[in-house]
Amino acid sequence: MDLTNNSKKTSGLLAGNDFIRVLVALAFILACGFYASVNGVAASNLSILAIAAAIGAYMAVNIGANDVANNVGPAVGSKALSMTGAILIAAIFEAAGALIAGGTVVGTIKKGIINPNAIADAETFIWVMMAALLAGAIWLNLATYLGAPVSTTHSIVGGVLGAGIAAGGWDIANWDKMVAIAASWVISPVFGGVIAAVFLIYIKRAVTYKSDMIEAAKKTVPLLVGIMVWAFSTYLILKGLKKIWKLDIISAGLIGLAIALTVYFIVRPIVDKAASSLKNDKDSVNSLFTIPLIVSAALLSFAHGANDVANAIGPLAAINDALISGTVSGKAAIPIWVMLIGGVGIAFGLALFGPKLIRTVGSEITELDKMRAFCVAMAAAITVIIASQLGLPVSSTHIAVGGIFGVGFLREYLKLSYNKKLAAIISHSESAGHDAEQTQAFVERFEVADVIEKRAILRELKAAKASSPISSSERKGLKKATKKELVKRSALLKIAAAWVITVPASATLAGLIFYMLLGFSVTHS
């Protein structure tokens, strides 16, 4: 009876907290609308501007609730950061990225997916932007509720596409761009997964597969930190600071390399000193990745704030520009109050609703330790750099989640392979007439051996024509059990489905909302 009462009390408390969070978010959204109505002195219609500002704030809150989880989720899942610490760091750096490096001008048509010249007048354009913004926000809200990390860029792209088609017909769309965006559903996660897996196998071979892991870590960790600094410096210069300091890939890479070399020589003695007091085990090596992970979460958040704030305030800036000028422009100036709505809104959304998606990304797909989380962060930065230079459309959300699946599937493969090899060793020992103690000693020798010694043991088995004692059906059962343990297939299917339907779902919503807004304007004109 006491347990039931306690459960009810807990449920009531949680429901109350949810209600309070919604009230706080609603208060922020209404405050943004009110602020716009007071300060938008040059706009021709303050009511429309106030509504657009409220919708922009709603979008920003949803970006914070959903998209930011990709930057800090791995750090939280690996326990490099607490949930509170992650939220504080991400909120500060997201807002800083938006306000410092978010730029002063934004393109009014996201990714050039529709032709603005095909829109009849400024009023129609305003309804298109408003419908796109509201549809993208609603879809993000729904995805967050369902626990699915989706691309905010694709949400707003779908919104612009759907509202644009509703306003100007099918010919208004740039279908070549849409094909490229659809291709990114595969390109982004595959790139992220492969790069994360490559880094993880390198760390395993260079450090955790060695008999003396601490000595190996002293050499490898500073190198990895240097590579991380190089990648993130280049990433920030190319993506995070591009609106205030635009450089080509070679210049950005050389500046990043100079910073990385400096950091390498600073970090090496620090790692050497820290590692000398550690035990020779995997947990100790993991601890050396804590600070790099925290730094990477901060830098990813800064770059995300600088780039993705445009998803929230781009359409709002476009509406503001159209209300002031009375025309449809390809570029729109971003007033400081509009940028504040975006930056502060993302921080609010993260603090209020971010934990759900942070847990999904950090711990509900596969188990992440600090080394695996580090590999995911590296994949996020490097993939964006490579893709941007190749002109490939990629999503930071898809890259990060793809990186998590990449390390999870690699772990599945390695564990399956290891179990098969161990079974072969036991079979060989038993067939040679060894007793249980001798067999156990043989297994222990294999388990503590480094990569070179393990290969030597396996060559001995091959020479002795040892075979695996488990049948094909048993091996399939082992493989299936291993997959269930290391990567949740239900999470994979849910997230993949959400990615595929993001653009059509937000497009459909936007089209319906556009017709509703158009009908409203005709009724009240």
Under the banding of pLDDT at 50, 70 and 90, the label for residue 509 is very high
Residue 161, CA distances (Å) to 178, 314, 344, 423 in order? 9, 15, 27, 56
Bridge partners (DSSP) listed for residue 106:
332
Q: Are residues 347 and 433 in the same domain?
A: no
The residue assigned the tokens 């208004």 is 172
Provide the b/e sequence for 228-260 (b: ≥16 CB within 10 Å). bbbbbbbbbbbbbbbbeeeeeeeebbeebeebb
Is the separation of the CB atoms in 511 and 163 below 8 Å?
Answer: yes
Q: Same domain for 29 and 43?
A: yes
Specify the higher pLDDT residue, 475 or 14. Answer: 475
Kindly state whether residues 379 and 461 are assigned to the same domain.
Answer: no
For 195-254, the pLDDT digits (tens) are 999 999 999 999 988 888 999 999 999 999 999 899 888 888 887 676 677 788 888 899
Could you identify the residue written with the tokens 């005709």?
522
Residues 472-484: what's their mean pLDDT? 49
In this model, does residue 8 exceed pLDDT 50?
no
Would 8 be classed as within a structural domain?
A: no
Q: Does residue 120 fall inside a structural domain?
A: yes
**Residues 55-63, mean pLDDT to the nearest whole number:** 94
Q: Are residue 136 and residue 104 in the same domain, yes or no?
A: yes
Q: Does the pLDDT value for residue 520 go beyond 70?
A: yes
Token representation of residue 269 = 């003695």
Asked, for residue 225, whether it belongs to a domain, the answer is no
User: What was the pLDDT predicted at 245?
Assistant: 74
* Structural domains counted in the chain: 2
pLDDT at 96 over 50: yes
SS3 content of the chain, % helix, strand, coil (to 5): 80, 0, 15
Sign of the dihedral defined by the CA atoms of residues 439, 442, 448, 450, in that order = negative
Specify the pLDDT at position 104.
63
Same domain, 286 and 348: yes
Residue 460's pLDDT is 64
Any domain includes 81: yes
Residue 440 belongs to a domain: yes
Tell me how far CA of residue 355 lies from CA of 19, 104, 137, 399, in angstroms.
Answer: 16, 31, 18, 20
Helix (H, G, I), strand (E, B) or coil at 105: strand
Note down the domain range covering 310.
13-212+280-411+487-523
Examine the domain organization and report whether 300 and 436 are in the same domain: no
The rounded distance, in Å, linking the Cα atoms of 269 and 230 is: 19
Q: How far apart are CA 134 and CA 392, in angstroms?
A: 27
Question: Are 422 and 386 in the same domain?
Answer: no
Q: Which two tokens stand for residue 86?
A: 């992650």
- Give mean pLDDT, residues 252-267: 93
Q: How many CB atoms lie within 10 A of CB 48?
A: 23
For the ranges 362-376, 433-447, 465-479, the one whose mean pLDDT is highest? 362-376
Q: pLDDT value at position 424?
A: 67
Please tell me whether residues 295 and 397 are part of one structural domain.
yes
Question: What's residue 309's pLDDT?
Answer: 78
Neighbours of 417 (CB within 10 A): 11
For 98-120, the pLDDT digits (tens) are 888 776 666 666 567 888 777 87
Q: Is 248 helix (H, G, I), strand (E, B) or coil?
A: coil
In a domain, 379, yes or no: yes
Q: Say yes or no: 427 and 284 in one domain.
A: no
Of the pLDDT bands very low, low, confident and very high (cuts 50, 70, 90), residue 511 is very high
In this prediction, residue 452 carries a pLDDT of 66
Task: Assess if residue 272 is contained within a domain.
Answer: no
Residues 441 and 361 in one domain: no
Q: How confident is the model over 429-466, as pLDDT tens digits? A: 666 666 666 666 666 666 666 666 666 666 665 565 44
Residue with structure tokens 């897996």?
A: 197
Per-residue pLDDT reduced to its tens digit, 115-163: 877 787 888 989 999 999 999 999 999 999 988 899 888 899 899 999 9
Structure-model confidence comparison of residues 250 and 424, the more confident one: 250
Buried b (16+ CB within 10 A) or exposed e, 68-101: bbbbbbbbbbbbbbeeeebbbbbbebbbbbbbbb
Co-location of 440 and 468 in the same domain: yes
Is the pLDDT confidence value at 324 over 70? Answer: yes
- Amino acid (1-letter code) at residue 124: T
Whether the pLDDT of residue 9 is over 50: the answer is no
Do 69 and 400 touch, CB atoms closer than 8 A? no
Q: What is the pLDDT of residue 46?
A: 85
Mutual orientation of helices 152-168 and 489-523 as an angle, nearest 10°? 40
d(CA 231, CA 378): 7
Give CA torsion, residues 482, 486, 488, 493, to 10 deg: -80
Q: What local confidence, expressed as pLDDT, does residue 262 receive? A: 95
Residues 357 and 471 in one domain: no
Percent of the chain clearing pLDDT 70 (strictly above): 80
**Once rounded to an integer, what is the mean pLDDT over residues 457-477?**
53
| Spatial CB neighbours of 382, under 8 Å, sequence gap ≥ 6 | 195, 231, 235
The neighbour count for residue 501, using CB atoms within 10 Å, is 16
Q: What is the end-to-end Cα distance of the chain in Å, rounded?
A: 62
**How much is the pLDDT for 426?**
67
**Residue 404 placed within a domain:** yes
Say whether 320 sits in a helix, a strand or coil. Answer: helix
pLDDT higher than threshold 60 for residue 497: yes
What is the reported pTM?
Answer: 0.82
Q: Among 30-39, 48-57, 112-121, 414-423, which stretch is predicted with the lowest mean pLDDT?
A: 414-423
Q: What is the rounded distance in angstroms from the CA atom of residue 420 to the CA atom of residue 385?
A: 38
